Structure 1
């Protein structure tokens, strides 16, 4: 609505002024809508000369990262079984979680009715890894060799305790739907470096853990109140990589081009008549879709990848839709200037059979994640590519249901969980934050999910407090109105 009001005001001004001047200005405006121009690097010393679109005032400072890859483990990985070693818990097997630790904190309805909260120590062995002796689980044999390349944050926390609001919160900055996603903010603010590919691409990987998994809604990569052209484009593992990418039978590229030209003229007329910014977004999206008919199949074709690169990602790398395949695709996107790539891997919601399902999830993701870091580093891309791994919250040290070594589960836990970051100005080998001996409460250096998003924006050259968009009477920010900060302790 703000854009529409501004457009109407601008058009009214042009009508009242010189007719010739108004026509020329409006024609220029429409041409820019159809083909975005690179941001002016002359007015912003930090702006990339090859950038297409974005805000001229961005970046606010010299960025460490040109692009970001977010590996999102949907369902909440169990931090005490992977990264947050708690050896003293062996002495607490099947003993109740002390009330002094729980402190009356909120529980989900799945365990709030339990008579007991029996502690389930991790059954997996941990060993020191890397120069700093970081303790890593045996479930992660490949990532354990990469601890000197990543920064671990063990003190993440959030207020959301159920999956849908928690994932919406970390992806969009609010538990309620309707806000713009992180990738959309970056697309809007920084544009792209490749006019033939979207600035924001999304993939949902297959998984072998718990069969049932939380649904993923397109609002997680949606543009919310931002123009729709900034929403993420989802790539599929079957059929066309993007829906309706191929021409229908009987339609060749020449015919398609003529159709788009005619449709473009109609949309230009509509835009001129009504000034609706969504019409301009539609024009740009049609043109992008036409260019993607060539660029996306080339992106998805792995035939040019040598075997030693494929081997980095593991045996499933050539299987479309696998997590390994998605990680290799993310590297190819990084090479081609895609601003933000997000991979969702589901199945981490282990309420009932963690000893079976968690190892499967780790086998899906461990080698490909490590392979992605190795591949980016070997190509010199890790220096300016930010990689983020994590979920929406953590899991409880106490058992959900009956406790045995063969089968048990863990409930949702928002009070502490672990994420890691790598590349683009992240301090290699850093470990930030601590939790108590129960991996239940943060006891040192808490990091809220707002702080994580502020740090991601910072590495992309953006001050999260100055990056706003007017909507519903408020200058909206990805990090919201609550206090948040950049986690400087993990930065170089």
Structure 2
């Protein structure tokens, strides 16, 4: 065995190894403007970049109802379910993941709302009041009736792990407007199914990976991010030395992408010491604003999302909860009613707050899960996964409000009219952000990759 630890090293090797190890802390030059928002240097990977054409939106908030909410119980009413309740017509025999029974009528009533008259389930009374700002996409479909591949498809554009997530692609293509915060932030009190792969940078530089925040406590946003041992002046002296060691290291080696990514990630971590606690401190909000969103972790996460995009974060992904909470294989009535009750006010509050502050015009909000649920029953009162047809909705950022686009069959099982695959959704969202989805590519392993792979159609009918 070759035991390197017992071998003597030269001074040159010592400096090189020190440069490698300490390079992760290469933050020199950042403390001079401590406490202020820093402009990125032109060479920074997170510096704002030009769009391919004029954007309608500058930022994205993805409200992820992980687990798969039922379209026929939320935004896609189907009267035929009442008429054929308990029966199994031939066109209700589509294959999904589990054995299912007869058609199962929705336990919820639908009503038309707003000037547009779009029908919304009774479990979302506050969101229904915002329907004129929302485009409901009723003809969505994906590839697999299983959580893991469908979660990956919705977040990364591919059902196989692991490709870069949409937030990573956006930061790669557009950079970010605030160098003191990550360009892509993920809010989830725990982990959804699949976990960090859903916000992975994959083969993109590491600085574009999503920053997962579990706790909204402003004093503990990111563990160990604050230096409790050194004053800013001492940190500056230490980092100046590290910068010189890094320079020596770089001269002797070719550019190391992993090292550069780690250095930039640590730069963001250092900058976060000044700005992240303030961004997550909800005590700065008025009582009226807090009441607008309601209470609970999801409500607080929606409010934090607004505060983050307001401060220049490119994308914020808010998971409803840990695991797969919307996965109601049994008791769809109690399950969906409870989750809607704890999120309806927060979602509507976010839309109203963004609109009141003039942010909704250039903030794209996406609501939905990784797939939908079957109109046939699983057990006596649940629903199985359904990839054949489901609903999501978009609001703000150049989207036509008060619109329904696409349709499922008479039972809500499969998309049949103006069908939109997840690739089409991604292509349309990138278009609204000023990005040509076919030109946003990254060369890796001998070929060009993109979020939409070799697919994707821009759905211009939903663009204002």
TM bracket (short chain): 0.7 to 0.9
8 A Cα contact 1:173 1:480, kept in partner:
yes
TM-score normalised over the length of structure 2: 0.87
Paired with 2:355 and 2:319, the residues of 1 have a C-alpha distance of 22
Pick the aligned partner of 1:135 from 119, 129, 143. 119
Q: Provide the residue aligned with 1:107 in structure 2.
A: 96
Seen in structure 2, the aligned counterparts of structure 1 residues 447 and 344 have a Cα distance that, compared at 3 Å, is same
1:324 aligns with 2:313: no
1:215-240 residue CA offsets vs partner (Å, 9 max, x unmatched): 24111111011000110111221561
Pick the aligned partner of 2:432 from 455, 459, 470. 459
1:97-140 residue CA offsets vs partner (Å, 9 max, x unmatched): x23343xx4321x32xx5xx211110101111111211111100
Paired with 1:156 and 1:326, the residues of 2 have a C-alpha distance of 26
Seen in structure 2, the aligned counterparts of structure 1 residues 146 and 454 have a Cα distance that, compared at 3 Å, is same
By how many angstroms is 1:246 displaced?
2.3
Gaps of 5+ in 2: 1-25, 31-37
Q: Provide the residue aligned with 2:18 in structure 1.
A: none
Q: Provide the residue aligned with 2:202 in structure 1.
A: 224
1:94 aligns with 2:89: no
8 A Cα contact 1:156 1:416, kept in partner:
yes
8 A Cα contact 1:101 1:441, kept in partner:
no
Paired with 1:225 and 1:54, the residues of 2 have a C-alpha distance of 21
Pick the aligned partner of 2:58 from 61, 66, 71. 66
Residue range with higher mean Cα deviation, 163-172 or 277-286: 277-286
Paired with 1:33 and 1:451, the residues of 2 have a C-alpha distance of 43
Seen in structure 2, the aligned counterparts of structure 1 residues 124 and 417 have a Cα distance that, compared at 3 Å, is same
Pick the aligned partner of 2:150 from 145, 162, 166. 166
Paired with 1:38 and 1:189, the residues of 2 have a C-alpha distance of 16
1:237-289 residue CA offsets vs partner (Å, 9 max, x unmatched): 156111221224x4443444444444444344333333112212222222221
Q: Which has the higher contact order (CA 8 A, sep 6+)?
A: 2
Paired with 2:130 and 2:243, the residues of 1 have a C-alpha distance of 50
Q: Provide the residue aligned with 1:304 in structure 2.
A: 284
By how many angstroms is 1:309 displaced?
1.1
Q: Provide the residue aligned with 2:457 in structure 1.
A: 485
| Partner SS state of residue 308, structure 1 | helix
8 A Cα contact 2:57 2:397, kept in partner:
yes
Paired with 1:337 and 1:360, the residues of 2 have a C-alpha distance of 33
8 A Cα contact 1:267 1:279, kept in partner:
no
Paired with 1:416 and 1:264, the residues of 2 have a C-alpha distance of 54
8 A Cα contact 1:151 1:490, kept in partner:
yes
| Partner SS state of residue 193, structure 1 | coil
Pick the aligned partner of 1:415 from 385, 388, 391. 388
1:384-436 residue CA offsets vs partner (Å, 9 max, x unmatched): 111111111000011111x2xxxx21100001111111111100111101111
By how many angstroms is 1:214 displaced?
5.3
8 A Cα contact 1:33 1:281, kept in partner:
no
| Partner SS state of residue 397, structure 1 | coil
Pick the aligned partner of 1:266 from 235, 241, 245. 245
- The ranges of structure 1 where at least 4 consecutive aligned residues each deviate by more than 4 angstroms after the TM superposition are 30-40
Q: Provide the residue aligned with 1:4 in structure 2.
A: none
1:122-169 residue CA offsets vs partner (Å, 9 max, x unmatched): 010111111121111110010010100111100000012110111011
Paired with 1:60 and 1:393, the residues of 2 have a C-alpha distance of 31
1:351 aligns with 2:329: yes
Paired with 2:28 and 2:440, the residues of 1 have a C-alpha distance of 23
Pick the aligned partner of 1:342 from 296, 300, 317. 317
Pick the aligned partner of 2:405 from 404, 429, 432. 432
Seen in structure 2, the aligned counterparts of structure 1 residues 345 and 271 have a Cα distance that, compared at 3 Å, is farther
| Partner SS state of residue 69, structure 2 | coil
